[in-house]
Amino acid sequence: MADQPGTRGLIFNEPLLWEKGKNGRCAMSIPESDVPQAALPEHCRREDVRFPDLAELDVVRHYTRLSQWNFSIDSGMYPLGSCTMKYNPKLNEKLAASPSLANSHPMLEDGLNQGTIRLLYDLQEYLKAITGMAGVSLQPAAGAQGELAGMLMFAGYFKAKGEQRTKILIPDTAHGTNPASAALCGFKPVAVKSGAKGTLSAESVAALMDEQTAGIMITNPNTLGLFESEIQQIAEIVHGKGGLVYGDGANMNAVMGIVDIARTGVDVMHLNLHKTFSTPHGGGGPGAGPVLCVEKLLPFLPSPMAVRNDDGYAMVSVGEHSIGRLHAFHGNYSVLIRAYGYILSMGAENLKRASQYAVLNANYVKSRLTDVLHLPYDSACMHECVFSDKHLQKHKVMTLDLAKRLIDYGYHPPTIYFPLIVSGAIMIEPTETECKDDIDGFIEAVKTIVGEAESNPELLHEAPCISKVRRLDETQAARKPCLIG
Ligand SMILES: *Cc1c(COP(=O)(O)O)cnc(C)c1O
Protein backbone atom coordinates (compact mmCIF):
# COMPACT_ATOMS: atom_id res chain seq x y z
CA MET A 1 0.00 0.00 0.00
CA ALA A 2 1.27 3.46 -0.85
CA ASP A 3 2.60 5.49 2.04
CA GLN A 4 -0.51 7.51 2.66
CA PRO A 5 -1.64 9.20 5.86
CA GLY A 6 -3.70 6.91 8.04
CA THR A 7 -2.08 3.66 7.03
CA ARG A 8 0.12 3.43 10.09
CA GLY A 9 -0.33 3.60 13.83
CA LEU A 10 -2.35 2.15 16.66
CA ILE A 11 -6.10 1.92 16.96
CA PHE A 12 -7.13 1.09 20.51
CA ASN A 13 -10.24 -0.75 21.47
CA GLU A 14 -12.14 0.93 24.23
CA PRO A 15 -14.84 -0.48 26.49
CA LEU A 16 -17.61 1.62 28.01
CA LEU A 17 -16.67 3.39 31.23
CA TRP A 18 -19.19 1.11 32.98
CA GLU A 19 -17.20 -1.91 31.90
CA LYS A 20 -13.90 -0.30 32.74
CA GLY A 21 -14.72 0.76 36.31
CA LYS A 22 -13.37 -1.29 39.25
CA ASN A 23 -14.70 -1.00 42.77
CA GLY A 24 -12.58 1.30 44.87
CA ARG A 25 -10.81 3.13 42.05
CA CYS A 26 -10.87 6.84 42.49
CA ALA A 27 -9.69 9.84 40.47
CA MET A 28 -8.51 11.82 43.45
CA SER A 29 -7.65 11.44 47.12
CA ILE A 30 -9.48 13.74 49.46
CA PRO A 31 -8.13 14.22 52.98
CA GLU A 32 -10.11 12.75 55.87
CA SER A 33 -12.80 15.12 57.02
CA ASP A 34 -11.83 17.03 60.15
CA VAL A 35 -15.34 18.17 61.03
CA PRO A 36 -18.08 16.04 62.64
CA GLN A 37 -20.43 14.22 60.27
CA ALA A 38 -23.83 15.81 59.93
CA ALA A 39 -27.05 14.04 59.05
CA LEU A 40 -28.09 14.43 55.42
CA PRO A 41 -30.92 16.89 54.90
CA GLU A 42 -34.31 15.35 54.18
CA HIS A 43 -34.36 15.86 50.38
CA CYS A 44 -30.93 14.32 49.67
CA ARG A 45 -30.56 11.11 47.68
CA ARG A 46 -29.58 8.23 49.95
CA GLU A 47 -29.00 5.37 47.54
CA ASP A 48 -25.75 4.88 45.68
CA VAL A 49 -25.54 6.91 42.42
CA ARG A 50 -23.81 4.00 40.68
CA PHE A 51 -21.15 5.90 38.80
CA PRO A 52 -18.27 3.72 37.62
CA ASP A 53 -15.20 3.91 39.86
CA LEU A 54 -12.31 5.13 37.75
CA ALA A 55 -8.81 6.44 38.20
CA GLU A 56 -7.86 9.74 36.57
CA LEU A 57 -5.73 7.94 33.98
CA ASP A 58 -8.66 5.62 33.11
CA VAL A 59 -10.76 8.67 32.29
CA VAL A 60 -8.03 10.46 30.36
CA ARG A 61 -7.28 7.37 28.24
CA HIS A 62 -10.94 6.67 27.65
CA TYR A 63 -11.71 10.07 26.19
CA THR A 64 -8.40 10.38 24.36
CA ARG A 65 -8.96 7.01 22.68
CA LEU A 66 -12.51 7.90 21.74
CA SER A 67 -11.26 11.17 20.26
CA GLN A 68 -8.80 9.19 18.14
CA TRP A 69 -11.63 7.29 16.51
CA ASN A 70 -12.82 10.53 15.05
CA PHE A 71 -11.63 11.89 11.78
CA SER A 72 -11.41 15.65 11.47
CA ILE A 73 -9.94 18.30 9.24
CA ASP A 74 -7.22 18.64 11.89
CA SER A 75 -6.16 15.04 11.23
CA GLY A 76 -6.40 14.86 7.46
CA MET A 77 -7.95 15.94 4.18
CA TYR A 78 -11.74 15.99 4.25
CA PRO A 79 -12.92 16.57 0.66
CA LEU A 80 -16.63 16.24 1.48
CA GLY A 81 -18.36 18.04 -1.38
CA SER A 82 -21.01 20.64 -0.54
CA CYS A 83 -19.84 20.82 3.08
CA THR A 84 -16.72 23.02 2.76
CA MET A 85 -14.68 21.14 5.34
CA LYS A 86 -11.82 23.59 5.24
CA TYR A 87 -9.30 24.17 7.98
CA ASN A 88 -10.64 26.53 10.61
CA PRO A 89 -7.85 28.71 11.98
CA LYS A 90 -7.28 28.24 15.71
CA LEU A 91 -7.28 32.00 16.14
CA ASN A 92 -11.07 31.98 15.73
CA GLU A 93 -11.47 29.20 18.28
CA LYS A 94 -9.44 31.24 20.70
CA LEU A 95 -11.58 34.30 20.11
CA ALA A 96 -14.83 32.41 20.58
CA ALA A 97 -13.53 30.91 23.82
CA SER A 98 -12.16 34.15 25.25
CA PRO A 99 -13.96 34.75 28.56
CA SER A 100 -14.88 38.34 27.76
CA LEU A 101 -16.94 37.15 24.77
CA ALA A 102 -17.97 33.65 25.83
CA ASN A 103 -19.18 34.79 29.25
CA SER A 104 -21.09 37.88 28.17
CA HIS A 105 -24.62 37.25 29.37
CA PRO A 106 -27.28 37.69 26.68
CA MET A 107 -29.76 39.08 29.19
CA LEU A 108 -27.56 42.01 30.11
CA GLU A 109 -29.24 45.23 29.15
CA ASP A 110 -27.87 46.75 25.96
CA GLY A 111 -26.02 49.54 27.80
CA LEU A 112 -23.92 46.91 29.59
CA ASN A 113 -23.49 44.71 26.55
CA GLN A 114 -22.09 47.15 24.00
CA GLY A 115 -19.15 44.97 22.92
CA THR A 116 -21.33 41.99 22.08
CA ILE A 117 -23.86 44.03 20.15
CA ARG A 118 -21.15 45.93 18.32
CA LEU A 119 -19.59 42.63 17.24
CA LEU A 120 -22.98 41.49 15.90
CA TYR A 121 -23.54 44.84 14.20
CA ASP A 122 -20.13 44.80 12.53
CA LEU A 123 -20.66 41.21 11.39
CA GLN A 124 -24.00 42.21 9.86
CA GLU A 125 -22.21 44.99 7.97
CA TYR A 126 -19.45 42.65 6.73
CA LEU A 127 -21.94 40.06 5.48
CA LYS A 128 -23.91 42.75 3.68
CA ALA A 129 -20.70 43.99 2.04
CA ILE A 130 -19.67 40.46 1.01
CA THR A 131 -23.01 39.68 -0.64
CA GLY A 132 -24.22 43.12 -1.76
CA MET A 133 -27.47 42.62 0.16
CA ALA A 134 -29.29 45.44 2.00
CA GLY A 135 -30.11 43.72 5.30
CA VAL A 136 -29.35 40.64 7.35
CA SER A 137 -30.49 38.71 10.40
CA LEU A 138 -27.94 36.61 12.26
CA GLN A 139 -30.61 34.51 14.00
CA PRO A 140 -30.86 31.27 11.99
CA ALA A 141 -28.73 28.48 13.43
CA ALA A 142 -28.05 26.61 10.18
CA GLY A 143 -28.34 26.87 6.44
CA ALA A 144 -31.59 24.95 6.56
CA GLN A 145 -33.01 27.37 9.12
CA GLY A 146 -31.84 30.28 6.97
CA GLU A 147 -33.84 28.76 4.12
CA LEU A 148 -36.84 28.37 6.40
CA ALA A 149 -36.49 32.04 7.39
CA GLY A 150 -36.28 32.97 3.70
CA MET A 151 -39.38 30.99 2.82
CA LEU A 152 -41.27 32.54 5.76
CA MET A 153 -40.19 35.94 4.40
CA PHE A 154 -41.48 34.97 0.94
CA ALA A 155 -44.79 33.92 2.51
CA GLY A 156 -44.96 37.16 4.55
CA TYR A 157 -44.22 39.26 1.46
CA PHE A 158 -47.05 37.74 -0.58
CA LYS A 159 -49.44 37.86 2.35
CA ALA A 160 -48.73 41.58 2.80
CA LYS A 161 -49.48 42.07 -0.91
CA GLY A 162 -52.70 40.09 -0.55
CA GLU A 163 -51.50 37.43 -2.98
CA GLN A 164 -51.92 33.68 -2.75
CA ARG A 165 -48.96 31.87 -4.29
CA THR A 166 -48.77 28.13 -3.86
CA LYS A 167 -45.75 26.81 -5.76
CA ILE A 168 -42.02 27.31 -5.84
CA LEU A 169 -39.50 26.30 -8.51
CA ILE A 170 -36.54 24.21 -7.35
CA PRO A 171 -33.85 22.87 -9.71
CA ASP A 172 -33.26 19.10 -9.77
CA THR A 173 -29.70 19.71 -8.50
CA ALA A 174 -30.90 21.35 -5.26
CA HIS A 175 -29.97 20.25 -1.77
CA GLY A 176 -32.84 18.36 -0.10
CA THR A 177 -33.29 21.12 2.46
CA ASN A 178 -34.58 23.47 -0.27
CA PRO A 179 -37.85 21.66 -1.05
CA ALA A 180 -38.22 20.77 2.65
CA SER A 181 -37.98 24.43 3.72
CA ALA A 182 -40.40 25.52 1.01
CA ALA A 183 -42.89 22.78 1.90
CA LEU A 184 -42.78 23.77 5.59
CA CYS A 185 -44.05 27.19 4.54
CA GLY A 186 -46.88 25.78 2.45
CA PHE A 187 -45.24 26.05 -0.99
CA LYS A 188 -45.40 23.07 -3.30
CA PRO A 189 -41.95 22.42 -4.79
CA VAL A 190 -41.90 22.13 -8.59
CA ALA A 191 -38.72 20.59 -10.02
CA VAL A 192 -36.88 22.42 -12.80
CA LYS A 193 -34.75 20.15 -14.97
CA SER A 194 -31.13 21.13 -15.46
CA GLY A 195 -29.88 21.32 -19.03
CA ALA A 196 -27.31 19.10 -20.73
CA LYS A 197 -24.51 21.22 -19.31
CA GLY A 198 -25.70 20.78 -15.73
CA THR A 199 -27.05 24.31 -15.35
CA LEU A 200 -30.47 25.90 -15.61
CA SER A 201 -31.68 27.49 -18.79
CA ALA A 202 -33.79 30.63 -18.73
CA GLU A 203 -36.29 28.90 -21.06
CA SER A 204 -36.92 26.03 -18.68
CA VAL A 205 -37.70 28.51 -15.91
CA ALA A 206 -39.88 30.63 -18.23
CA ALA A 207 -41.89 27.52 -19.12
CA LEU A 208 -42.80 26.91 -15.48
CA MET A 209 -42.96 30.38 -13.93
CA ASP A 210 -46.48 31.76 -13.49
CA GLU A 211 -48.40 34.02 -11.13
CA GLN A 212 -49.25 31.19 -8.73
CA THR A 213 -45.55 30.57 -8.23
CA ALA A 214 -43.80 32.38 -5.38
CA GLY A 215 -40.46 32.23 -7.15
CA ILE A 216 -37.39 30.06 -7.37
CA MET A 217 -34.77 28.68 -4.97
CA ILE A 218 -31.45 28.59 -6.72
CA THR A 219 -28.02 27.50 -5.52
CA ASN A 220 -25.14 29.31 -7.17
CA PRO A 221 -22.69 27.84 -7.88
CA ASN A 222 -24.95 24.81 -7.98
CA THR A 223 -24.33 21.44 -6.36
CA LEU A 224 -22.51 20.19 -9.47
CA GLY A 225 -19.98 22.94 -8.76
CA LEU A 226 -21.12 24.85 -11.86
CA PHE A 227 -21.93 28.55 -12.03
CA GLU A 228 -25.54 29.24 -13.02
CA SER A 229 -24.59 31.64 -15.79
CA GLU A 230 -28.18 32.45 -16.78
CA ILE A 231 -29.08 33.57 -13.27
CA GLN A 232 -29.75 37.17 -14.29
CA GLN A 233 -32.16 36.21 -17.09
CA ILE A 234 -33.80 33.70 -14.74
CA ALA A 235 -34.25 36.40 -12.08
CA GLU A 236 -35.78 38.72 -14.70
CA ILE A 237 -38.30 36.07 -15.71
CA VAL A 238 -39.24 35.36 -12.07
CA HIS A 239 -39.49 39.06 -11.21
CA GLY A 240 -41.49 39.65 -14.38
CA LYS A 241 -44.24 37.39 -12.96
CA GLY A 242 -44.08 39.13 -9.57
CA GLY A 243 -42.04 36.32 -8.00
CA LEU A 244 -38.97 36.32 -5.79
CA VAL A 245 -35.55 34.68 -6.11
CA TYR A 246 -34.05 32.78 -3.19
CA GLY A 247 -30.30 32.19 -3.30
CA ASP A 248 -28.94 29.19 -1.41
CA GLY A 249 -25.54 30.58 -0.45
CA ALA A 250 -24.04 27.35 0.89
CA ASN A 251 -21.49 27.48 -1.92
CA MET A 252 -20.31 31.01 -1.15
CA ASN A 253 -16.80 29.65 -0.69
CA ALA A 254 -16.43 29.75 -4.46
CA VAL A 255 -17.41 33.36 -5.01
CA MET A 256 -16.46 35.53 -2.01
CA GLY A 257 -15.42 38.97 -3.21
CA ILE A 258 -16.01 37.88 -6.80
CA VAL A 259 -19.78 37.82 -7.31
CA ASP A 260 -22.13 40.56 -6.09
CA ILE A 261 -25.07 38.30 -5.25
CA ALA A 262 -27.60 41.14 -5.16
CA ARG A 263 -26.68 42.08 -8.74
CA THR A 264 -27.40 38.55 -9.93
CA GLY A 265 -31.05 39.21 -9.04
CA VAL A 266 -31.29 37.29 -5.75
CA ASP A 267 -33.83 38.79 -3.30
CA VAL A 268 -33.23 36.64 -0.22
CA MET A 269 -30.34 34.32 0.58
CA HIS A 270 -28.58 32.55 3.40
CA LEU A 271 -24.93 31.99 4.17
CA ASN A 272 -23.57 28.96 6.00
CA LEU A 273 -21.11 30.61 8.35
CA HIS A 274 -19.93 27.20 9.57
CA LYS A 275 -18.99 26.23 6.02
CA THR A 276 -17.53 29.37 4.51
CA PHE A 277 -16.56 31.42 7.55
CA SER A 278 -14.64 29.05 9.75
CA THR A 279 -16.50 27.02 12.33
CA PRO A 280 -15.57 23.36 12.80
CA HIS A 281 -18.76 21.53 11.88
CA GLY A 282 -20.05 18.09 11.13
CA GLY A 283 -22.38 15.57 12.68
CA GLY A 284 -25.09 18.19 12.91
CA GLY A 285 -23.54 21.38 14.17
CA PRO A 286 -22.80 23.90 15.42
CA GLY A 287 -23.75 26.39 12.76
CA ALA A 288 -25.19 29.73 11.81
CA GLY A 289 -27.15 30.52 8.66
CA PRO A 290 -27.72 34.28 8.52
CA VAL A 291 -30.49 35.29 6.16
CA LEU A 292 -29.92 38.33 3.94
CA CYS A 293 -32.26 40.28 1.70
CA VAL A 294 -32.66 43.22 -0.65
CA GLU A 295 -34.38 46.47 0.30
CA LYS A 296 -37.98 45.47 -0.44
CA LEU A 297 -37.86 42.48 1.93
CA LEU A 298 -36.24 44.28 4.88
CA PRO A 299 -39.54 44.53 6.83
CA PHE A 300 -39.84 40.74 6.87
CA LEU A 301 -36.44 39.89 8.38
CA PRO A 302 -36.39 38.01 11.69
CA SER A 303 -36.14 40.02 14.91
CA PRO A 304 -34.26 41.28 16.83
CA MET A 305 -31.17 42.67 15.12
CA ALA A 306 -28.22 44.81 16.12
CA VAL A 307 -28.42 48.50 15.20
CA ARG A 308 -26.20 51.51 15.79
CA ASN A 309 -27.84 54.69 17.07
CA ASP A 310 -26.78 57.91 18.81
CA ASP A 311 -26.33 56.13 22.14
CA GLY A 312 -24.20 53.31 20.78
CA TYR A 313 -25.43 49.84 19.86
CA ALA A 314 -28.79 48.22 20.59
CA MET A 315 -30.75 45.06 19.85
CA VAL A 316 -34.09 46.09 18.38
CA SER A 317 -37.19 44.35 17.11
CA VAL A 318 -37.87 45.20 13.52
CA GLY A 319 -41.16 45.96 11.86
CA GLU A 320 -44.69 44.59 12.18
CA HIS A 321 -44.09 42.29 9.22
CA SER A 322 -41.06 40.61 10.81
CA ILE A 323 -41.30 36.83 10.81
CA GLY A 324 -40.18 37.02 14.46
CA ARG A 325 -37.60 35.14 16.44
CA LEU A 326 -35.90 31.97 15.24
CA HIS A 327 -33.38 31.52 18.02
CA ALA A 328 -33.02 32.43 21.66
CA PHE A 329 -31.14 35.64 22.43
CA HIS A 330 -28.61 36.70 19.78
CA GLY A 331 -28.41 33.55 17.65
CA ASN A 332 -25.58 31.03 17.77
CA TYR A 333 -23.16 33.54 19.21
CA SER A 334 -19.96 31.47 19.31
CA VAL A 335 -20.28 30.71 15.59
CA LEU A 336 -20.90 34.39 14.88
CA ILE A 337 -17.73 35.31 16.79
CA ARG A 338 -15.68 32.89 14.69
CA ALA A 339 -17.07 34.35 11.46
CA TYR A 340 -16.30 37.85 12.69
CA GLY A 341 -12.74 36.84 13.58
CA TYR A 342 -12.28 35.03 10.29
CA ILE A 343 -13.48 37.95 8.17
CA LEU A 344 -11.39 40.49 10.09
CA SER A 345 -8.24 38.39 10.08
CA MET A 346 -8.55 37.56 6.38
CA GLY A 347 -9.57 40.98 5.07
CA ALA A 348 -11.35 41.58 1.77
CA GLU A 349 -8.40 40.70 -0.46
CA ASN A 350 -7.72 37.37 1.22
CA LEU A 351 -11.37 36.33 1.27
CA LYS A 352 -11.33 36.77 -2.49
CA ARG A 353 -8.06 34.87 -2.71
CA ALA A 354 -9.51 32.04 -0.62
CA SER A 355 -12.31 31.62 -3.16
CA GLN A 356 -9.84 31.76 -6.03
CA TYR A 357 -7.71 29.03 -4.47
CA ALA A 358 -10.79 26.93 -3.67
CA VAL A 359 -11.75 27.10 -7.37
CA LEU A 360 -8.19 26.48 -8.54
CA ASN A 361 -7.82 23.42 -6.30
CA ALA A 362 -11.10 21.91 -7.47
CA ASN A 363 -10.18 22.42 -11.10
CA TYR A 364 -6.79 20.82 -10.46
CA VAL A 365 -8.48 17.74 -8.95
CA LYS A 366 -10.95 17.67 -11.83
CA SER A 367 -8.32 17.84 -14.55
CA ARG A 368 -6.03 15.27 -12.90
CA LEU A 369 -8.78 12.70 -12.35
CA THR A 370 -10.64 12.97 -15.66
CA ASP A 371 -8.48 10.26 -17.20
CA VAL A 372 -9.53 7.71 -14.55
CA LEU A 373 -13.03 8.73 -13.47
CA HIS A 374 -16.05 9.59 -15.57
CA LEU A 375 -16.89 13.30 -15.57
CA PRO A 376 -20.59 13.71 -16.39
CA TYR A 377 -20.44 17.48 -16.95
CA ASP A 378 -17.21 18.45 -18.60
CA SER A 379 -16.74 22.15 -18.06
CA ALA A 380 -14.61 24.32 -15.80
CA CYS A 381 -15.89 23.91 -12.26
CA MET A 382 -16.09 26.22 -9.30
CA HIS A 383 -15.09 25.00 -5.82
CA GLU A 384 -16.03 21.35 -6.28
CA CYS A 385 -16.18 18.74 -9.02
CA VAL A 386 -18.51 15.82 -9.52
CA PHE A 387 -17.49 12.48 -11.04
CA SER A 388 -19.43 9.24 -11.41
CA ASP A 389 -18.64 5.53 -11.13
CA LYS A 390 -19.51 4.85 -14.78
CA HIS A 391 -15.99 3.69 -15.69
CA LEU A 392 -15.79 1.44 -12.61
CA GLN A 393 -18.99 -0.46 -13.26
CA LYS A 394 -17.35 -2.88 -15.70
CA HIS A 395 -15.32 -4.16 -12.72
CA LYS A 396 -18.49 -4.30 -10.59
CA VAL A 397 -17.06 -1.57 -8.42
CA MET A 398 -19.32 1.23 -7.25
CA THR A 399 -18.94 4.71 -5.83
CA LEU A 400 -19.49 3.31 -2.34
CA ASP A 401 -16.54 0.93 -2.73
CA LEU A 402 -14.22 3.72 -3.84
CA ALA A 403 -15.36 5.93 -0.98
CA LYS A 404 -14.84 3.18 1.60
CA ARG A 405 -11.41 2.29 0.22
CA LEU A 406 -10.26 5.91 0.58
CA ILE A 407 -10.58 5.43 4.35
CA ASP A 408 -7.80 2.83 4.16
CA TYR A 409 -5.62 5.45 2.54
CA GLY A 410 -6.31 7.97 5.29
CA TYR A 411 -8.78 10.24 3.54
CA HIS A 412 -12.30 11.11 4.52
CA PRO A 413 -14.48 9.98 1.61
CA PRO A 414 -15.98 12.63 -0.66
CA THR A 415 -19.73 13.20 -0.71
CA ILE A 416 -21.34 10.33 -2.59
CA TYR A 417 -24.61 9.77 -4.45
CA PHE A 418 -25.33 13.52 -4.38
CA PRO A 419 -26.42 15.47 -6.35
CA LEU A 420 -29.13 13.02 -7.28
CA ILE A 421 -29.06 13.84 -11.00
CA VAL A 422 -25.68 12.11 -11.32
CA SER A 423 -25.97 8.38 -10.92
CA GLY A 424 -23.17 7.15 -8.61
CA ALA A 425 -21.95 10.70 -7.95
CA ILE A 426 -18.56 11.34 -6.33
CA MET A 427 -18.44 14.96 -5.26
CA ILE A 428 -15.01 16.30 -4.34
CA GLU A 429 -14.41 19.66 -2.64
CA PRO A 430 -10.73 20.04 -1.77
CA THR A 431 -11.14 23.64 -0.42
CA GLU A 432 -8.50 26.33 -0.47
CA THR A 433 -6.73 25.20 2.68
CA GLU A 434 -5.14 22.04 1.20
CA CYS A 435 -1.70 22.48 -0.30
CA LYS A 436 -0.69 20.95 -3.62
CA ASP A 437 1.28 18.10 -1.98
CA ASP A 438 -1.74 17.00 0.02
CA ILE A 439 -4.07 17.24 -2.95
CA ASP A 440 -1.56 15.24 -5.00
CA GLY A 441 -1.59 12.57 -2.26
CA PHE A 442 -5.37 12.36 -2.50
CA ILE A 443 -5.29 12.17 -6.30
CA GLU A 444 -2.71 9.37 -6.15
CA ALA A 445 -4.90 7.48 -3.67
CA VAL A 446 -7.91 7.73 -6.01
CA LYS A 447 -5.78 6.59 -8.95
CA THR A 448 -4.43 3.65 -6.96
CA ILE A 449 -7.98 2.63 -6.05
CA VAL A 450 -9.11 2.86 -9.66
CA GLY A 451 -6.19 0.53 -10.47
CA GLU A 452 -7.33 -1.85 -7.73
CA ALA A 453 -10.83 -1.84 -9.21
CA GLU A 454 -9.35 -3.60 -12.22
CA SER A 455 -6.79 -5.81 -10.46
CA ASN A 456 -8.59 -6.70 -7.25
CA PRO A 457 -12.24 -5.65 -7.19
CA GLU A 458 -13.04 -8.06 -4.31
CA LEU A 459 -10.71 -6.07 -2.09
CA LEU A 460 -12.69 -2.92 -2.79
CA HIS A 461 -15.94 -4.66 -1.94
CA GLU A 462 -14.53 -5.37 1.50
CA ALA A 463 -12.96 -1.99 2.15
CA PRO A 464 -12.27 -0.35 4.52
CA CYS A 465 -9.85 -3.05 5.62
CA ILE A 466 -7.74 -1.35 8.27
CA SER A 467 -10.21 0.93 9.99
CA LYS A 468 -11.66 0.43 13.45
CA VAL A 469 -14.99 -0.62 12.03
CA ARG A 470 -15.55 -2.08 8.58
CA ARG A 471 -18.76 -1.59 6.60
CA LEU A 472 -21.53 -0.34 8.81
CA ASP A 473 -25.13 -1.39 8.34
CA GLU A 474 -26.38 2.06 7.44
CA THR A 475 -29.98 0.96 6.94
CA GLN A 476 -30.10 -0.59 10.38
CA ALA A 477 -28.46 2.51 11.87
CA ALA A 478 -31.13 4.73 10.34
CA ARG A 479 -34.09 2.46 11.08
CA LYS A 480 -33.10 1.39 14.58
CA PRO A 481 -30.83 4.07 16.00
CA CYS A 482 -29.14 3.14 19.25
CA LEU A 483 -28.90 6.40 21.10
CA ILE A 484 -27.62 5.28 24.49
CA GLY A 485 -24.15 4.07 23.57
C1 LIG B 1 -25.11 22.46 3.49
C2 LIG B 1 -26.11 22.89 2.53
C3 LIG B 1 -27.40 23.29 2.94
C4 LIG B 1 -27.89 23.15 4.36
O5 LIG B 1 -27.14 23.82 5.30
P6 LIG B 1 -27.04 23.32 6.80
O7 LIG B 1 -26.21 24.37 7.46
O8 LIG B 1 -26.40 21.97 6.78
O9 LIG B 1 -28.43 23.28 7.35
C10 LIG B 1 -28.26 23.78 1.99
N11 LIG B 1 -27.90 23.83 0.70
C12 LIG B 1 -26.69 23.43 0.26
C13 LIG B 1 -26.36 23.55 -1.20
C14 LIG B 1 -25.76 22.92 1.15
O15 LIG B 1 -24.56 22.52 0.72
Q: Which of 248, 276, 384 to mutate to test the pocket of ligand 1 (most atoms within 8 A of CB)?
A: 248
Is any atom of ligand 1 closer than 6 Å to the C-beta of 272? Answer: yes
What number does the ligand 1 atom closest to the CA of 219 have?
Answer: 13
Q: What is the pTM of this model?
A: 0.92
Is any atom of ligand 1 closer than 6 Å to the C-beta of 220? Answer: no
The number of beta carbons lying within 10 Å of the beta carbon of residue 284 is 7
Q: Rounded to whole angstroms, what are the CA distances from 482 to 66, 68, 318, 470?
A: 17, 21, 43, 18
The dihedral built from the CA positions of residue 119, 122, 124 and 129, taken in this order, carries a sign that is negative
- Residue spans in the chain of domains classed CATH 3.40.640.10: 91-346
Nearest CA to ligand 1 atom 14: 250
CA angle at 143 for the pair 139 and 149, rounded to the nearest 5°: 50
Q: How far apart are CA 463 and CA 406, in angstroms?
A: 8
Radius of gyration of the chain (CA): 26
What kind of fold does domain 358-479 have according to CATH? Aspartate Aminotransferase, domain 1 (3.90.1150)
> CB within 8 A of 130, min separation 6: which ones?
252, 256, 257, 343, 351
Nearest CA to ligand 1 atom 7: 143
485 residues of the chain, pLDDT tens digit each: 456 665 566 778 899 999 999 998 988 888 999 999 998 898 999 888 888 999 999 999 999 999 888 889 999 999 999 999 999 999 999 999 999 999 999 899 999 999 999 999 999 999 999 999 999 999 999 999 999 999 999 999 999 999 999 999 999 999 999 999 999 999 999 999 999 999 999 999 999 999 999 999 999 999 999 999 999 999 999 999 999 999 999 999 999 999 999 999 999 999 999 999 999 998 777 999 999 999 999 999 999 999 999 999 999 997 789 999 999 999 999 999 999 999 999 999 999 999 999 999 999 999 999 999 999 999 999 999 999 999 999 999 999 999 999 999 999 999 999 999 999 999 999 999 999 999 999 999 999 999 999 999 999 999 999 888 889 888 998 999 888 75
What number does the ligand 1 atom closest to the CA of 274 have?
Answer: 7
Is any atom of ligand 1 closer than 6 Å to the C-beta of 355? Answer: no
SS3 167: strand
What are the E-state strand segments in 9-118? none
What is the predicted pLDDT for the residue at 8? 60
DSSP string covering 404-452: HHHHHTT----EES-STTSTT-EEE---TTS-HHHHHHHHHHHHHHHHH
Q: Let me know: does 372 contact 392? Beta carbons within 8 Å.
A: no
Residues in the chain: 485
Nearest CA to ligand 1 atom 8: 143
The number of beta carbons lying within 10 Å of the beta carbon of residue 313 is 20
Nearest CA to ligand 1 atom 15: 82
Q: In what order do the strands lie in the sheet with 268-271?
A: 135-137, 291-293, 268-271, 244-249, 213-219, 167-171, 188-192
Q: Show contacts of 104-111: CB within 8 Å, 24+ apart.
A: 106/328, 106/329, 106/330, 106/333, 107/329, 110/312, 110/313, 110/314, 110/315, 111/311, 111/312
What is the predicted pLDDT for the residue at 29? 86
Is any atom of ligand 1 closer than 6 Å to the C-beta of 142? Answer: yes
Is any atom of ligand 1 closer than 6 Å to the C-beta of 403? Answer: no
**Residue 243 C-alpha from the chain's centroid:** 28
- Residue spans in the chain of domains classed CATH 3.90.1150.10: 358-479
Q: How far apart are CA 148 and CA 181, in angstroms?
A: 5
> CB within 8 A of 257, min separation 6: which ones?
130, 348, 349, 351, 352, 355
- CA 243 to ligand 1 center in whole angstroms: 23
SS3 60: helix
Q: How far apart are CA 125 and CA 134, in angstroms?
A: 9
Is any atom of ligand 1 closer than 6 Å to the C-beta of 287? Answer: yes
List the CATH code of the domain at 91-346.
Answer: 3.40.640.10
Is any atom of ligand 1 closer than 6 Å to the C-beta of 419? Answer: no
> CB within 8 A of 386, min separation 6: which ones?
81, 223, 224, 225, 375, 376, 377, 419, 422, 425, 426, 427, 428
The dihedral built from the CA positions of residue 97, 100, 105 and 111, taken in this order, carries a sign that is negative
Is any atom of ligand 1 closer than 6 Å to the C-beta of 288? Answer: no
Is any atom of ligand 1 closer than 6 Å to the C-beta of 177? Answer: yes
Nearest CA to ligand 1 atom 2: 250
What is the predicted pLDDT for the residue at 318? 79
Is any atom of ligand 1 closer than 6 Å to the C-beta of 289? Answer: yes
What kind and span of H or E run contains 358?
A: helix 333-369
